[in-house]
Amino acid sequence: MHILIISHYYPPLNSIASLRPYFFAKIFAENKAEVTVITTKKNSRDGHLDLTFPLTKNVNVIEIDYMPLFFWKKRTALGENSSLIDPQKNFNKKGKNKLKEFLKSIADSFGSLLDHQTFWKTKAFLAARKVNGEKKIDIVISTFSPIACHLVAYKLIKSNPDIKWIADYRDLWSLNHFRTGKFVFNWIEKQLERRILKKASHITTVSEPLAQQLSEFTYGAKPVSIIYNGYDRERKNKNLNDVQLNNPIRIVYTGTIYQGKSDPSPLFHALNLLAEKGVLKKGELIVEFYGSLLGNLEEIIVNCSASEWAVIKGHVAPPEIAKIQEECDFLLFLWSNEGKRDGVLTGKLFEYISSNTPIMAIGIDDKSSAAELISETKTGFIFENNVQLIADFLEHVKQNPENLVYNPDWNAIESYSRQKQALKLFEIAKSLNHLS
């Protein structure tokens, strides 16, 4: 069976989104499939290019260059070196960014229809057609986003209707209220998405709520399956009787800060409350943030008078991040589901649940898919935005660390390994190939 995977995100681009197609390709190849991956040729301006894995036998990766170098804006990483936030900075750069923010708001109105990665689709389709001419493709899997991946698969299926197409969604497209076009442009997106999905043989996505939305969106005409993002870390058990808190206590956040969705303010307010009570002193607890896309974090830190607690560490390579997650005292998960069962199950959360480090989840309530996963696996504590609850928990931990109860359910956790999730998708691919 020859499987074609179409994805912009792929190693060495250091993004949690790169891991999903990589492990699909790896596990498929290990199970005797021939795999071709068509992806964009990566540039340092795409992001950090330090996500490296050994080459996998029977996986042919084709990189397609799609934009001239001068097109790219230089990206800068936030906080390359460890540093405490200086509240005196006062963010003078705000004024300089007003024009850029205005232009971005106009571009955002078009949603996916004004995505520069769409320019990739013609070259990618020609590459896919060439691959199919050299050795017939049986299954194509395109993973969204960007939309170019689905558009390439759609065009390939139109000209080769015997190929079966699995449309994979890490996020929603036109149904994504966080990243869709406005006004008439969202209507256009929906019509385009419905039209191309008519050619799909199967749809996959990352959570039950998203699967339900996609099923309703296609009027139940397409089978929809859940393939979780999963984790790939080896199990490491801690002897809970020997656990010692770090000095200072370390709360760690790794990943992206999404403005309006990832808000650590309740944690900072709780820390300030403990300081006012005399329970917590400067230097006894630190909140570390790792990542190069940290949004408005600096502004939040200053507004919450939290510079004595917060440290921005910037970008760190994946192996080191895994070690940091395992060695800290708590992992901070930030998301706001706004009282809705939003279906957001990020790849980062699966890294967290497999780290054997307790999760402190702020912003979500028990209606969210993230809270359900944390509760099912017994890997953390849900605080919503309750400042007093956070403060009481940390006070108890500081004064009675020996009473911290953390017993993750590894039977539940191991069901979410990337290998098991990829094998589930492989079975879907085999069943479609059998039908053809």
Cβ atoms of 335 and 306 closer than 8 Å: no
What's residue 346's pLDDT?
87
Cβ atoms of 420 and 354 closer than 8 Å: no
Torsion from C-alpha of 384, 385, 391, 396, nearest 10 degrees: 0
Residue whose C-alpha is closest to residue 337's, from 190, 217, 211, 178: 178
DSSP state of 97: G
What's residue 104's pLDDT?
56
CA distance 371 to 364: 7
**List of the chain residues with pLDDT < 50:** 70, 72-94, 239, 241
Domains of the chain, earliest start first: 2-71+118-230+417-435 (3.40.50.2000), 240-414 (3.40.50.2000)
What's residue 249's pLDDT?
95
Q: Report the half-sphere exposure of 14 (CA within 13 A, side-chain side).
A: 22
Q: Rounded to a whole number, what is the largest CA-CA distance in the chain?
A: 72
pTM of the model: 0.85
CA distance 259 to 32: 43
Residue 51 tokens, joined: 């996500």
Residue 116 tokens, joined: 């520069």
What's residue 237's pLDDT?
60
What's residue 244's pLDDT?
75
- Helices 184-197 and 208-217: angle between axes, nearest 10 degrees: 90
- Taking CA atoms, 321 is separated from 50, 346, 399, in Å, by 12, 16, 28
CA distance 389 to 200: 47
Residue whose C-alpha is closest to residue 390's, from 431, 435, 350, 332: 332
